[in-house]
A and B are shown apart, each in its own frame.
Chain A
Amino acid sequence: MKLFKLRGGVHPEGRKASSADVTIRSLPLPPQLYVPLQQHVGAPAKPVVRVGEQVLAGQLIGAGQGNISAPVHAPTSGRVVAIGDHPSPHPSGLSAATVTIAPDGEARWFESDVPADPFALAPDDIAARVGAAGIVGLGGATFPSAVKLKLSRKSGVDTLIINGGECEPYLTCDDRIMRERAVEIVTGIRLIQLAVGAQRALVGIEDNKPEALAAMRAAAAGTDVQIRAVPAMYPMGWDKQMIQVLLGREVPAEGRSADIGVLVHNVATAWAVQQTLCLGRPLVSRIVTVSGGAVAAPCNLEVPIGTPVQALFDACGGFNTTPARLVLGGPMMGHQLTHTSVPVVKGSSGVLALTQAEIGLTRPAPCIRCATCVRACPVGLLPLEMAARIRSDDLDAAVTLGLKDCIGCGSCSYVCPSSIPLVHYFNYAKSELMAQARSKLKQEATKKLADERGARMERIAREREEAAAARKAAKAAKDAAAKAASTTEVAA
């Protein structure tokens, strides 16, 4: 089948070999699990357990709030020892609301109803179960999957694309899960296909993963799930790039893939859907790649959500040299870890300990306008022009140039011969625009409050005046009556 041409992209060194050929291991339970209540895009979950309470594995500990949210479940059985702030795996390193669980080591599972035949479920029922299991996009976007399923069903999609691109260097978690759990993934894909009513399901896998391709082809034989090899490049794992290469359709600017009738899910998400619908297991663990030049024995681990990152490095033999930088996620789009006590969350695909040689920092030099970044941009933007506008604080001009369509993939920063932190400029500008929007909202709310107070003060003053006038009138009437009475008396 024909593949379509792509715009931009870069070819970073894969560096996947060290962890790709090691079987996924289960991580032993750490002494404490720190489960953040917000591991997804949208509103944070609301805790539904109390400190001291015994919980079972898979038991609901945080309920989703609002339309876009996801619940959180206990990764294992144990006791809730704290509900409070704990450092979160966020670029800021700030703390966030977290439920701390001390595992009892028994891993007793919460009784949940498992459908006898998941393929007999109604599409809405599948979406509801996926939502209740707290499944979010495991590729890293962490958008609640049930919301995507419901929206796609409503808007009508014809094609389901399962993203096995995994274009980030170092990361092999999707590669390993496809090699080892292909049958489960294919079942998950067919269930998702059923939930959205898509006519066809395509799996896009980069051609640098021949074993995963073979395993998935074998598992998909006899089903209508089609496996496609796509060229290895970065950012192939970006959903819009995957749609473009497989279908030749382009998602409109500021649009979603559903606008052109496509739904994209990650392979690990498909596996999580299968676990929920066939075994009744909510999303309480994920596969995480532990890699980087400073890690003694890189591998993939199946990690309970909430495990501190330090436990992962320890399980891989610790560091063989002092790492120059710890990264959560891939080296292109991940962020620096502030410390290793932060927990693994649903969206953590990898933890990397990189050596000085691997990060190769150089000081930024002035832009030479070579336009290498323009050729690398997969969206077709002008990174050099946008960065120049942002540097001179002209954010509106950067927005006009398409800042909002920037996906922050880092291709431009990667190729820049002057080492200009282009994507850092764009991230800064995006957060600045969000801050401006927030302060505008606050300003509007303040204005409303001030206006309401003004109106109330006016009403009180008016009422007081009216009361005074009424009193005066009553007094005048009384005086007049008294006067009249006295005159009649005199007259009498």
Chain B
Amino acid sequence: MIIPILSLAALGISLGLLLGLAARFFKVEGNPLVEELEALLPGSQCGQCGYPGCTGAAQALADGSAPVTLCPPGGRAVVVALAAKLGVDADLSGVKDAVPSIADVREELCIGCTRCYKVCPTDAILGAAKHIHAVFKEACTACGSCVEVCPTEAILLRPVPPPLQSWGWVKPGAVAAANEGVLAA
């Protein structure tokens, strides 16, 4: 009788001790999920999701208070990645990959107020006071922050036609009979 009691008690105490030590030495600062989610987001801090930057959005995703479809510039790729990370089913029906576009400064309207380049999250606008501003097309993410602050509506998001190098086949069945079996003949 005494032996089982003692052995079980010893087992309980040692396991409890182990758990206590593990809790102290392997303590996690903050939620690691937030960081992992943030790594999946575009990181341009554009604020289109309604949260203060990508960290805020990642926090909301980790809490479960935001849907995985929250990031408009990320498109389908980000939704799929987030859904896989969080282990939820993503409803891709409402998600459209934004048409690739870039901000375009209409030179005849630009007054050189410098407001747009101050808000650009990726430093994609070059300009100085009372000089016409210009956009670096490689750096622009089409987040639209500059469009909102422009006092003369000189900035528009202009769709850019996909270059030949990034053209891809459409999924079979996604197009009408016209394209059916292009390669199947």
Contact = CB atoms under 8 A, between A and B. Distances in A.
Given A88-B164, A450-B121, A436 B77 contact: yes
Nearest to A95: B164
Chief secondary structure at chain A's binding surface? helix
Interface in A320-346: 325, 331, 335-336
B115 to A, nearest CB: 16
A410 interface: yes
A359 B177 CA distance: 15
B43 A450 contact: yes
Contacts of B45: 450, 454
B184 A413 contact: yes
A453 B123 contact: yes
Instruction: Please classify how large the interface on chain B is, using the bins under 10, 10 to 19, 20 to 34, 35 or more.
Output: 20 to 34
A449 B139 contact: yes
A255 interface: no
Interface residues of A, number: 51
Given A428-B171, A439-B77, A447 B180 contact: no
Contacts of A410: 183-184
A434 B162 CA distance: 14
B13 to A, nearest CB: 47
A435 B168 contact: yes
B14 interface: no
B42 A424 contact: no
Nearest to B46: A450
Interface string A83-104: 0000010111011100000000
B122 A450 contact: yes
Contacts of A452: 123
A424 B172 contact: yes
Contacts of A427: 169, 183
Most buried by B among A88, A90, A427, A440: A427
Contact of A428 (B122, B139, B163, B172): B172
Contacts of B44: 446-447, 449-450
Contact of A446 (B43, B177, B181, B182): B43
A391 B180 CA distance: 15
A391 B168 CA distance: 16
B25 interface: no
A402 interface: no
Nearest to B122: A449
B57 to A, nearest CB: 13
Contacts of A453: 121-123
Given A432-B168, A450-B122, A424 B181 contact: yes
A431 B123 contact: no
Contacts of A222: none
Contact of A449 (B123, B164, B166, B180): B123
Interface in B124-149: 124, 138-139, 141
A452 B139 CA distance: 13
A439 B164 contact: no
Contacts of A390: 171
Interface stretch (A55-63, A360-368, A476-484): A360-368
A361 B170 contact: no
A177 interface: no
B167 interface: yes
Contacts of B77: 436, 439-440
B184 A421 contact: yes
Contacts of A88: 164
Nearest to A38: B164
Interface string A396-440: 000000000000001001001001111111011011101110111
A112 interface: no
B8 interface: no
Given A446-B44, A450-B43, A452-B123, A360 B169 contact: no
B6 interface: no
A453 B46 CA distance: 13
A454 B54 CA distance: 13
Most B-side CB within 10 Å, residue of A336, A431, A449: A449
A428 B168 contact: yes
Contacts of B164: 88, 90, 92, 94-96
B1 interface: no
Nearest to A435: B168
Interface string A191-209: 0000000000000000000
Contacts of B168: 428, 431-432, 434-435
6 interchain residue pairs of minimum CB distance: A431-B168, A447-B43, A421-B184, A449-B122, A92-B167, A428-B169
Interface of A: 88, 90-92, 94-96, 325, 331, 335-336, 354, 359-361, 363-364, 390-391, 410, 413, 416, 419-425, 427-428, 430-432, 434-436, 438-440, 442-443, 445-447, 449-454
Given A364-B184, A416-B184, A421-B182, 19 more contacts: A92-B164, A92-B167, A94-B162, A335-B183, A354-B185, A419-B181, A420-B184, A424-B169, A424-B181, A427-B169, A430-B169, A434-B166, A435-B166, A439-B77, A446-B141, A449-B122, A449-B123, A450-B43, A450-B44
8 contacts: A91-B182, A364-B173, A413-B181, A431-B168, A443-B43, A446-B141, A449-B121, A453-B123
